[in-house]
Amino acid sequence: MSTSEHSPRSGGASAHAVTEILAGQDDMKDWLHDLYRTFHRHPELSNQEVKTAERVATELKDLGYEVTEEIGTTGVVGVLANGDGPTVLMRADMDALPVKEDTGLDYASTDTATDADGNTVPVAHACGHDVHVASLLGAARLLAEAKDAWSGTFVALFQPAEEDATGAKEMVDDGLADLIPAPEVAFAQHVLAFPAGQVSPHAGPFLSSADSMRITVHGRGAHGSMPQLSVDPVVLASSIVLRLQTIVAREVAPDDFAVVTIGRISGGSKSNIIADRAVLELNVRTFDTAVSERVLAAIERIAIAEAQASDAPQEPEFELYDHYPLTENDEATTTRLTEAFTAHFGGQVTDRGRQSASEDFSDIPSALGVPYSYWGIGGVDPDTYAAAEKKGTVSADIPANHSPQFAPVLEPTLSTGTAAIVVAALAWFGGSGN
């Protein structure tokens, strides 16, 4: 009887099926590592993931997936229909960052790209999306090579432009719902700076909402030797930066979560010219809309007042962009998932709580009307991490996502990332019962 085998809670046949499927990991290790190193070496900026998407599509087709390309800009979906059973969607994001890699890896990126402003910038997978892409391709292969071990439909979705919060929405707007079978559940994962080998599911709010704001402040340009004729936009922008620190420190209740990061400041082009404007680009994260609103209002209030303090000829301009929704993991889905993870990974399953990062993944299940869960996987060499933990220097010594030094160890990161997808999918597919 297959009933119990389809029940993810029993775990019996499913565990057997997982073992059977994952048995293929050894054979594909070189292929997987090569894939990863290639993605890592040639990162692509948001909505420019052309080569990455081509390679993804080629691999999926080779594996027998039905592939749709160029969803949104460069989105790819591979569908593997394998008999009766639920449809499970797994998403990986493909884009990289305008960061100059400083990892010292022999497969480090030295690539550059032209960004949206026409500037030539370095590019690196400083956020680890290459791990996501490789892991999902790995899981896609394992599932394709062990079709006897499960039944259902696996949807492998490769999304562009997560880093600017547009990719998920792009794919939805480009008709994703009509291009794939309706999934029963959707998943995504992210490599983070904790020990590789560990998997971290978490029910409820998991990733913060995020909003970016561009503030253009206006001064009055002059020769650098005549400050009295100018309104110095560098002094103005710097004053705003320092004053913005008081929002989290003084205006947000200490029990409320809020981050205000000014990721970019730019003003002037030469040491001896006082420019007539400067630009700040900042990012606000919270787990509560009321807090977001208070913080964004405080930012505007401070920037306007600081412009007045500088006697600026014009109010600052404010532009909101890159809105990320809250990622709130479905309780029931996450419980089922956690049980499956625990059955397979044992003590390596650690709920590390909500994360301050943000994601646009949830735009996809929200649009499709399906529950979702998003989990973390570790990417740091466990011994290195343990040593840093012992010394109390984790923050100082372990480069986090978006750092130029961020460099996940290949293993057990990739095998864990691959296995986690298979385990999650099988918790819904169940084993085939043979």
Beta-strand runs (E) in 241-400? 258-267, 273-274, 277-286, 317-324, 327-329, 372-380
Q: b/e string for 290-303 if b means 16 or more Cβ within 10 A?
A: ebbebbbebbeebb
The percent of the chain in helix, strand and coil, each rounded to the nearest 5, is 40, 25, 35
Question: Token pair 């707007």 is at which residue?
Answer: 173
Q: What is the tally of helices (H) and strands (E) in the chain?
A: 14, 17
Smallest gap from residue 232 Cβ to a second copy (A): 5
Task: Name residues contacting a second copy, limited to 305-334 (CB under 8 A).
Answer: 305-306, 308-311, 313, 322
The only residue of 113, 179, 265, 370 in contact with a second copy, by rule CB under 8 A: 265
Pairing status of strand 209-218 against strand 317-324: antiparallel
- Exactly one of 58, 266, 393, 434 binds a second copy (CB under 8 A); that residue is 266
By CB under 8 A, is residue 110 in contact with a second copy? no
Question: How many residues of this chain interact with a second copy, rule: CB under 8 A?
Answer: 103
How would you label 346-375 residue by residue, b for 16+ Cβ within 10 Å and e otherwise?
Answer: eebbbeeebbebbbbbbbbbeebebbbbbb
- Residue 41: CB atoms within 10 A of its CB come to 18
Work out which of 178, 253, 347, 390 binds a second copy, going by CB under 8 A. Answer: 253
State how beta strands 273-274 and 372-380 pair.
unpaired
Nearer to a second copy, 254 or 369 (CB): 254
The residue from 14, 355, 373, 415 that contacts a second copy (CB under 8 A) is 355
Q: Pick the closer one to a second copy by CB: 167 or 430.
A: 167
Contacts to a second copy from residues 76-105, by CB under 8 A: 97-99, 102
* 335-338 contacts, C-beta under 8 A, 24 or more apart: 335/203, 336/8, 336/9, 336/427, 336/428, 337/187, 337/201, 337/373, 337/375, 337/424, 337/427, 338/201, 338/203
The SS3 of residue 99 is coil
226 lies in the binding site for a second copy (CB under 8 A): yes
Q: Does 221 bind a second copy (CB under 8 A)?
A: yes
Closest approach of a second copy to the CB of residue 246, in Å: 5
Of the candidates 12, 64, 205, 224, which one interacts with a second copy according to CB under 8 A?
Answer: 224
Task: Give CA–CA dist 100/118, Å, rounded.
Answer: 17
Q: How far is the CB of 105 from a second copy (least distance, A)?
A: 16
Contact flag: residue 261 with a second copy (CB under 8 A): yes
Q: Which of 104, 178, 269, 390 binds a second copy (CB under 8 A)?
A: 269
> Between residues 230 and 415, which has the closer beta carbon with respect to a second copy?
230
116 forms part of the interface with a second copy (CB under 8 A): no
Per CB under 8 A, the segment of 70-78, 81-89, 265-273, 423-431 that binds a second copy is: 265-273
Which one among 29, 33, 243, 323 touches a second copy, defined by CB under 8 A? 243
Edge-to-edge strand list for the sheet holding 66-71:
66-71, 75-82, 152-159, 87-93, 185-195, 372-380, 199-200
| Binding mask of the shown chain, residues 335 to 354, with x at each position contacting a second copy by CB under 8 A | ------------------xx
Residue 230 in the binding site for a second copy (CB under 8 A): yes
Tell whether omega for the bond before 404 is within 30 degrees of 0, i.e. cis. Answer: no
Binding-residue pattern over the window 172 to 211 for a second copy, x denoting contact by CB under 8 A:
---------------------x--------------x-x-
Candidate segments 3-11, 26-34, 226-234, 418-426, binder of a second copy by CB under 8 A: 226-234
Rounded least distance, CB 15 to a second copy, Å: 34
